[in-house]
Amino acid sequence: MAANPNSKTADGKFADLKKDTVELNGKQNMTTDYGIKISDPDHWLRVADEQKTGPSLLEDQIAREKIMRFDHERIPERVVHARGTGAFGTFKLHESAEDVTSAGILTDTSRTTPLFLRFSTVQGSKGSADTVRDVRGFAIKMYTSEGNWDIVGNNIPVFFIQDAIKFPDVIHAVKPEPHNEIPQGQSAHNNFWDFQYMHSEVTHMNQWIMSDRAIPRSYRMMQGFGVNTYSLINKEGKRHLVKFHFTPELGVHSLVWDEALKIGGQDPDFHRKDLMDAIDAGQFPRWKFGIQVIPEEKADDFEFDPLDATKIWPEELVPIRYIGEMELNRNIDEFFPQTEQVAFCTSHIVPGIDFSNDPLLQGRNFSYFDTQISRLGPNWQELPINRPVCPYMNLVNRDGAMKHRITKGTVNYWPNRFETNPPATAEQGGFTSYPEKQQGIKQRALSDKFKEHYNQAQLFYNSLSEIEKMHVAKAFSFELDHCDDPVVYKRMTERLAAISLELAQTVATNVGGDTPTKALRENKGLKSKGLSQLEYMPEKPTIATRRIAILLADGFDFNQYTTMKEALQAQNAFVFTIGAQRQGVTSGSGQKVVPDHFFTGMRSTLFDAVFVPGGKHIEALSKNGVAKHWISESFAHLKAIAGANDAVPFIQRQINLPEVEVAQSGTSLKESYGVVTGHGDAASLLKVGKIAPDAKGLA
Ligand code: HDE
């Protein structure tokens, strides 16, 4: 089958969308949707007397069109993952996986495949905050030369439930409660934790969502996982089970919980903007693409069932083979027709890839296809963002609401006397399902290995660093503290003793459970690779795209300010001047700087690091409660803080911890607990810029 030339270029999908894209900023007159020019869009046609009062006329076709369009401009939001943001990008393969698959996208290293990726949260509605504690969706539509391949994944490799029939239950339990529609964007409520207790299969996923993975610093700093088990089929027809992985070049980083909560109010679009800003600045986020494969005949060799989506395939047993790379490099032009109307389907696979008997995947294959009909109608695949870039044609699939493609020809059935629109043989690229032999008895059951629910929950918990474990304990404590039904928080704390007695005891103390004295289950201390996010520090540490604030008031040292700003910008950091007032601040040597924001307009929570130059402005900063809070809060959130000359004692006073050492006057630079201090002229401060990039790593 001839490949579509469009999909060979990074802009393949963009070129396709151009056919439906118009520029708004032309000189063209405003018209109605049926094309006539509008003379007055501001007044409804009415019968008016001399005072210009009187009834409005229903006759006004222009007003009616405008109001009708407005009345109907909402479509149902996604039943889950309603809040999201998307971008275009490309996929490149570095190493052919032809030993395991015949899929063009996974075997042809000369291709660049265009793609659209939508990140999302699960629980909240379309207008909820970005930084809530939740799983993040990671859904990719690859516009391949052989048709669309959708990997509808998450940033966590496992899921809550094992059987798709439980999905409405788990989602109803986590969504706002039915009697009062509370809470929004939160899993911290009775119903969610009640459900969690009633289903021990969720225990592994519980650990992940209570870990820092559920409060990412940025969409660009999250892993992506296909979660479900698919199949790869090679040319010889042999099958391997497969899991898909995306690992970010920038490393995996999270917010701290207090930051996430505050940003939820201070900037609910934090993640959305972060992604757009980075792409606009040409700082394209990249992920390594990897596969884990298990030959079909080895599927029974593990203590877990590889078809169970509540289990990972530990890397020690099934290593990840990194074979490609994904990059996001183009922002959307309009939210609704792109990010809102994009529709993913787990059932969209291409030849060389097939499903497996993963019971969650099988249910998803029905659900996604189905849900798009209520969101977008039966012709959703024709929408510009959803249509493939390769040639597509089906003479039978016609009509339906909002059909707009016009197909010429006299027949709409197969076979027909002209042999119009014939199916393709396998050699011509026709999709053939893997001929798996099936025999069985109809029953509602899962394999025995699905019954084990705790091993990997412990494996995950044991693999975390001490700090990550502490965060898990705090997250459980926060969530269960929001449950006011004692049955819920008492039973759940008890359950934690099946993971770690210490964890259960800490949480019980905090939330008022009964402190367990015995572990419910032995913990052999087993650990696995790749579970702690500290293992994903970037190969090359960078401050590119990190948001760095410089605090100024009247009397600041101009040289230090400009030298540091330039040094940081040279490393592609996003630098913001935060001043006492936006009307302008004046340096000790008389230069005026107009800050990007003033102290209370933007808080420390929205930045990764802060620098305070020396100068007389320290006097004013020392008297300003908000400026002082900037420093103490940055420190509490484990941010890199830098200060020079007079700023050193100012910073020290706000941190007020004897363990944090600062540079003494006349000594060179000091780095202690992520606080970088120094004395000297502007040139010597450049070294601070060289230390600062790594300082974030301390967090
Ligand atoms: Fe989804 N899920 N899901 N899900 N899911 C949807 O489809 C569903 C599951 C995921 O950005 C819905 O188009 C069932 C696992 C993402 O547009 C719906 C089950 C994973 C997105 C649906 C699952 C996901 C969705 C709602 C259990 C991680 C957002 C709107 C069997 C691998 C896609 C839509 C986007 C969206 C059903 C479980 C990820 C209702 C029945 C596991 C990223 O069809």
Tell me the CA–centroid distance for residue 165 and ligand 1, in Å.
13
**Residue 154 known to be catalytic:** yes
Here the tokens at position 210 are: 């209570």
Region 626-635 average pLDDT: 97
- Give tens-digit pLDDT for 173-203: 999 999 999 999 999 999 999 999 999 999 9
Tell me the CA–centroid distance for residue 169 and ligand 1, in Å.
14
DSSP of 578-624, one letter per residue? EES-TT-EE-TTS-EE--SEETTTS-GGG-SEEEE--BTHHHHHHT-
Whether 361 has a pLDDT exceeding 60, the answer reads: yes
Q: 570-573 contacts: CB < 8 A, separation 24 or more?
A: 571/542, 571/543, 571/544, 571/689, 571/693, 572/281, 572/283, 572/542, 572/543, 572/544, 572/545, 573/543, 573/544, 573/545, 573/546, 573/547, 573/548
Q: Residue 621, CB half-sphere, CA atoms under 13 Å: how many?
A: 35
Tell me the CA–centroid distance for residue 586 and ligand 1, in Å.
53
Whether 686 has a pLDDT exceeding 80, the answer reads: no
Q: Which atom of ligand 1 is nearest to the CA of 372?
A: 13
Nearest CA residue ID for atom 24, ligand 1: 153
Q: Which residues contact 422 (CB under 8 A, 6 or more apart)?
A: 414
CB atoms within 10 A of CB 625: 8
- Give tens-digit pLDDT for 479-498: 999 999 999 999 999 999 99
Q: H or E segment at 431?
A: none
The predicted pLDDT at position 665 comes to 82
Annotated catalytic residue: which of 6, 148, 154, 523?
Answer: 154
Looking at the chain, the whole-number percentage of residues with pLDDT higher than 90 is 91
- Mutation choice for ligand 1 from 310, 344, 385, CB with most ligand atoms inside 8 A: 344
Nearest CA residue ID for atom 38, ligand 1: 364
Nearest CA residue ID for atom 14, ligand 1: 364
Alpha-carbon span 620 to 616, nearest angstrom: 8
Q: Which atom of ligand 1 is nearest to the CA of 163?
A: 31
**Neighbouring-strand partners of residue 609:** 548, 640
Confidence of residue 6 (pLDDT cuts 50, 70, 90): very low
The predicted pLDDT at position 690 comes to 54
Q: Which atom of ligand 1 is nearest to the CA of 370?
A: 44
DSSP of 489-542, one letter per residue? HHHHHHHHTTT-HHHHHHHHHHHT-PPP-S-SS-------TT-SGGGG--SS--
Tell me the CA–centroid distance for residue 656 and ligand 1, in Å.
47
Nearest CA residue ID for atom 18, ligand 1: 368
- Give tens-digit pLDDT for 553-582: 999 999 999 999 999 999 999 999 999 999
Q: Which residue bears the tokens 């909240």?
A: 124
The predicted pLDDT at position 370 comes to 95
Confidence of residue 14 (pLDDT cuts 50, 70, 90): confident
Q: Which atom of ligand 1 is nearest to the CA of 153?
A: 32
Q: Which atom of ligand 1 is nearest to the CA of 118?
A: 11
End-to-end CA distance of the chain: 52
627: exposed, middle or buried (C-beta count within 10 Å: 0-12, 13-18, 19+)? buried
Per-residue HEC secondary structure of 151-174 comes to EEEECCCCCCCCCHHHHHHHHHHH
Q: Which residue bears the tokens 């877990």?
A: 304
Q: Which of 40-54, 70-84, 214-228 has the lowest mean pLDDT?
A: 40-54
Tell me the CA–centroid distance for residue 133 and ligand 1, in Å.
18
Instruction: Confirm if 573 and 548 have CB atoms less than 8 A apart.
Output: yes
Which of 281, 222, 224, 225 has its CA nearest to residue 255?
222
The predicted pLDDT at position 685 comes to 63
> Residues with Cβ within 6 A of ligand 1?
78-81, 84, 118, 120, 137, 139, 152-154, 159, 164, 167, 227-228, 309, 343-344, 360, 363-364, 367-368, 371
Whether 139 has a pLDDT exceeding 80, the answer reads: yes
Binding residues for heme: 368
Tell me the CA–centroid distance for residue 138 and ligand 1, in Å.
10
Q: Are strands 640-644 and 609-612 parallel, antiparallel or unpaired?
A: parallel
Tell me the CA–centroid distance for residue 80 and ligand 1, in Å.
7
- Give tens-digit pLDDT for 447-488: 999 999 999 999 999 999 999 999 999 999 999 999 999 999
**Residue 148 known to be catalytic:** no
Q: Which atom of ligand 1 is nearest to the CA of 361?
A: 31
The predicted pLDDT at position 476 comes to 98
- Mutation choice for ligand 1 from 222, 335, 368, 369, CB with most ligand atoms inside 8 A: 368
Whether 399 has a pLDDT exceeding 50, the answer reads: yes
The predicted pLDDT at position 668 comes to 78
**Neighbouring-strand partners of residue 90:** 114, 327
Alpha-carbon span 10 to 27, nearest angstrom: 31
Region 626-641 average pLDDT: 96
Region 152-176 average pLDDT: 98
- Give tens-digit pLDDT for 506-559: 999 999 999 999 999 999 999 999 999 999 999 888 999 999 999 999 999 999
The predicted pLDDT at position 25 comes to 77
Longest Cα separation, the chain:
93
SS3 421: coil
Identify which has the larger pLDDT, 430 or 26: 430
Alpha-carbon span 111 to 149, nearest angstrom: 15
| Sheet with strand 574-579: strands edge to edge | 597-598, 574-579, 547-552, 609-612, 640-644, 675-678, 670-672
Mean pLDDT over all residues of the chain? 94
Which of 588, 569, 153, 147 has its CA nearest to residue 381?
147
Annotated catalytic residue: which of 81, 204, 471, 482?
Answer: 81
The predicted pLDDT at position 697 comes to 33
Going through 181-237 in order, the beta strands assigned E by DSSP cover 224-225, 230-233
Which of 358, 366, 364, 529 has its CA nearest to residue 449?
358
Instruction: Confirm if 56 and 64 have CB atoms less than 8 A apart.
Output: no
Alpha-carbon span 462 to 468, nearest angstrom: 10
Alpha-carbon span 249 to 648, nearest angstrom: 34
Amino acid at 239: R
Nearest CA residue ID for atom 42, ligand 1: 159
Which of 385, 381, 379 has its CA nearest to residue 402?
379
The predicted pLDDT at position 45 comes to 96
Whether 348 has a pLDDT exceeding 70, the answer reads: yes
Q: Which residues contact 236 (CB under 8 A, 6 or more apart)?
A: none
